Structure 1
Amino acid sequence: MRHTWRWFGPVDKVTVRDAAQAGAEGIVSALHHVPTGTAWTIDEIRKRQDEIAAGGLVWDVVESIPVSEDIKTQKGDWRAHVANWQETLRRLSACGIRTVCYNFMPVLDWTRTDLRWDTRHGAKAMRFDLVDFAAFDIHILKRPEAKADYPGWLIEDAARRHAEMPGERIAGLGRNIGAGLPGSADGYTLDQLLEKLRSYQGVDRARLQSNLVDFLTEVTPVAEDVGINICAHGDDPPWPLLGLPRILSTEADYAHMLSQVDSRANGVTLCTGSLGARADNDLPFIARRFADRIHFVHLRNVTRDTDTVPCSFFEDEHLEGGTDMIAVIAALLEEEKRRREQGREDHRIPMRPDHGQEILDDLTRGAQPGYPAIGRLKGLAELRGIERTLLHARYGLA
């Protein structure tokens, strides 16, 4: 696999040179400062490429071109936003970029109640606490329909939890859950979040799936024409939140998306952490089933408190947690071997160590939550060790 590293631009406290020293071969980045729905310019794309080149690496993967809420709901300026998304693909291709990740999660991107939760050995990790989230939804956000979405025991636990929360924790939950895309300046106050939720009235699961297919029907032919692979990131966490449907949470969800727009250019960002938050997602099987359409990989691991859906979980070390990482990497290496034999140009699948626990000097660096320097270096080293072992001549995957 091609080892990459997410970088949020010049504001990132982990530099491109840090990424190179950690063993990355390429960078995953985006133009976070460009308003959602606007076409990226050639000048801005080349400026980011130059910033990355100054650190000794190249811009391999775009993560992400944001998909606007107008596109997801098919309201407002959605057709203009699709046209701008298409134009951005053309301009990225003209600059030599061939892989674009995106997601179709309504309103919220990845959602955590804790951005720096204390682990058993003193590292800081991100966590989703189901009781805290329900307390936020029912008692802090005060979404009118919230109680209908939770079982009785959880409503009671959430009430007790909220009653014990200090004001600092209540404010922190609002900040953590209302955050926008990682690296962006977007984010919602409680009132803004409620307004965004109201904009999804009439958009149920079937409608959102249909809107995704409509979007892909428009952008995939452009991706084919300009030689770009687009790849959908899964829901994180992989279940409905705040009354909103989520449609890329399971193997069946991905199968539906890929069958409806059946083009190699329409593919998957395999995120083992997102899908791994559900015990019913078999990650090695999913990697094998969709191998031909996997264009980008996020490798991380989560430990679930229970195997129910939904559940509480935290982001564990890369080789811990509920996902058999060795089996996943073996499936990906087998796919790369098939692609080499077929003569495919995209035979090396870009992979990045996703997230990471804050350890050692990370604890004082103040980097983007989930994206520490040393925690990701450790993860990349462990994942690279598995890959190097499986590629040894003795095991036949080289």
Structure 2
Amino acid sequence: MSLIQSWRWFGPNDSVSLQDILQAGATDVVSALHYIPHGEVWPLEDILERKALIEAAGLKWSIVESVPVHEAIKTRGNANEKYLDNYKTTLRNLSKAGLNLVCYNFMPVLDWTRTDLSYRLQNGAKALYFDWADLASFDHYILQREKAFSYYSDEVVELAKLRWADMTEERKKELSDIILMGVPTEKSMTKEDLINSIAIYREIGKAGLRDNLVYFLKSIQQTCEEEGITMTIHPDDPPFPILGLPRIASNVEDLKYIMDKVPEFFNGVCFCTGSLGAGGHNDLPEILAKIGERVHFAHLRNVKKNNRGDFYEAEHLNGDVDMVTIMQQLIKLNKNRKRPILYRPDHGHQLLDDLDKQTNPGYSAIGRLKGLAELRGLEIGLDR
């Protein structure tokens, strides 16, 4: 039994069509109803409409990514129970539509963070990039968080000061827009909202956020078990605290804690090699060896880091992540599964004709087609 090759599709407004996905060779689609605001119930009719659209193209909607977790749940605020009820209703509606694998994350406020969405590589392609000095510049000069520079190394602070002195007004605005963007398919947040959220999470801390995740999982456990739904948590991206916001899914200890606290089968992991690989503290083959039985979905991409911890998203088989060993482990894990593990090429360089197109950051067609072809070839070669 082979791993299942999937592809993320943002819906009818995605510049990458379902026919493009077929031509890329994927069989399954990863999708979500991004137009529905965070926390609101996904109507069954809307779910069935999206599913029918995908199936009419000859593909299968196999995993929902993501059903976003509302901030009121992450902070366990006043509206927590309301949004938990909404979440459970959405899960029931997904189950009625035959969808029982869900990806989500528990990252506070911003979701994934980058500082450049079009970093130019030597070959002319563009990649997503994270730069600590640019983040520190935003933190100190734009966000103006109290004692912001004290959270960064001396090297990063000095570089941030030099970078800011030479930064154009256009780049300052671009940097701010990128960081405040949060999830590209959602509404951007304001600087004031972010400052208020940082204050809230300062009180919650890592331990409190962990408790809130466990409460969330235990709250939806009965619904998941009754409906046969498996949840897969996506690791933090990048896997370290950002702007004073805590992270709780950044390393093997975090993931083992989540699995141990809620050991029931419905609680699983989306193994993202790019998110975990961005942390120099992470040994990905070791992590997969320890939590592999709980992995049901994989995002496969690569990163290259420098000594400061800055990183860009590299070619799928050419980076700091040992993709050969990861694929070997996934193939071995998959041999004993009743339901095969799904993976998708995560992100991809903007290259060739896509350089002139407007796409969701990281989700142009040709770069992911190249990545999927490389991963497919790697899987077939190793499996034989």
Match of 2:250 in 1: 249
Match of 1:385 in 2: 377
Q: CA deviation at 1:378?
A: 0.3
How many Å separate the matches in 2 of 1:169 and 1:333?
44
Does the aligned pair in 2 maintain the 1:288–1:332 contact within 8 Å?
no
- Residue range with higher mean Cα deviation, 112-121 or 152-161: 152-161
Q: Secondary structure at the match of 1:204?
A: helix
Q: CA deviation at 1:98?
A: 1.7
Task: Work out whether 1:25 is the aligned partner of 2:27.
Answer: yes
How many Å separate the matches in 1 of 2:4 and 2:190?
39
Task: Work out whether 1:372 is the aligned partner of 2:364.
Answer: yes
How many Å separate the matches in 2 of 1:158 and 1:76?
39
Match of 2:221 in 1: 220
Fraction of identical pairs, as percent: 46
Per-residue displacement from partner, 1:220-262 (whole Å, max 9, x unpaired)?
2321221111000000000000111101000000000000000
Does the aligned pair in 2 maintain the 1:216–1:261 contact within 8 Å?
yes
Q: CA deviation at 1:303?
A: 0.2
2:63 partner letter: V
1:176 partner letter: I
Q: Secondary structure at the match of 1:4?
A: strand
Match of 2:345 in 1: 353
1:194 partner letter: I
TM-score, with structure 1 as normaliser: 0.94
Does the aligned pair in 1 maintain the 2:201–2:246 contact within 8 Å?
no
Q: Secondary structure at the match of 2:29?
A: strand
Per-residue displacement from partner, 1:161-192 (whole Å, max 9, x unpaired)?
1111001100001111111323x232112223
1:64 partner letter: S
Match of 1:331 in 2: 329
Task: Work out whether 1:286 is the aligned partner of 2:278.
Answer: no
The number of equivalent residue pairs is: 382
Per-residue displacement from partner, 1:140-161 (whole Å, max 9, x unpaired)?
1112242231233322221221
Does the aligned pair in 1 maintain the 2:104–2:233 contact within 8 Å?
yes
Does the aligned pair in 1 maintain the 2:202–2:245 contact within 8 Å?
no
Per-residue displacement from partner, 1:355-387 (whole Å, max 9, x unpaired)?
000111111121111001010000000000011
Per-residue displacement from partner, 1:104-133 (whole Å, max 9, x unpaired)?
000111100000110111100000011011
Equivalent position to 2:354, from 347, 362, 383: 362
Match of 2:174 in 1: 172
How many Å separate the matches in 2 of 1:283 and 1:353?
17
Write out aligned runs for 1:139-218 (5 A): 139-182=141-184, 184-218=185-219
How many Å separate the matches in 2 of 1:360 and 1:42?
39
Structure 1 residue ranges, 4+ long, deviating more than 3 angstroms after superposition: none
Equivalent position to 1:39, from 38, 41, 54: 41
How many Å separate the matches in 2 of 1:54 and 1:175?
37
Q: Secondary structure at the match of 2:270?
A: strand
1:69 partner letter: E
1:236 partner letter: D
Task: Work out whether 1:72 is the aligned partner of 2:74.
Answer: yes
TM-score, with structure 2 as normaliser: 0.97
Write out aligned runs for 1:5-16 (5 A): 5-16=7-18
Q: Secondary structure at the match of 1:5?
A: strand
How many Å separate the matches in 1 of 2:295 and 2:274?
15
Q: CA deviation at 1:280?
A: 2.1
Per-residue displacement from partner, 1:295-331 (whole Å, max 9, x unpaired)?
110000000012x6xx100000000111110110110
Match of 1:51 in 2: 53
Per-residue displacement from partner, 1:282-307 (whole Å, max 9, x unpaired)?
1112122211110110000000012x
Q: Which runs of 5+ in 2 are unaligned?
A: none
Match of 1:299 in 2: 300
2:224 partner letter: A
Per-residue displacement from partner, 1:330-368 (whole Å, max 9, x unpaired)?
1011011122xxxx2x1x111100000011111112111
Q: CA deviation at 1:389?
A: 0.8
- Residue range with higher mean Cα deviation, 149-158 or 290-299: 149-158
Match of 1:395 in 2: none
Match of 1:321 in 2: 319
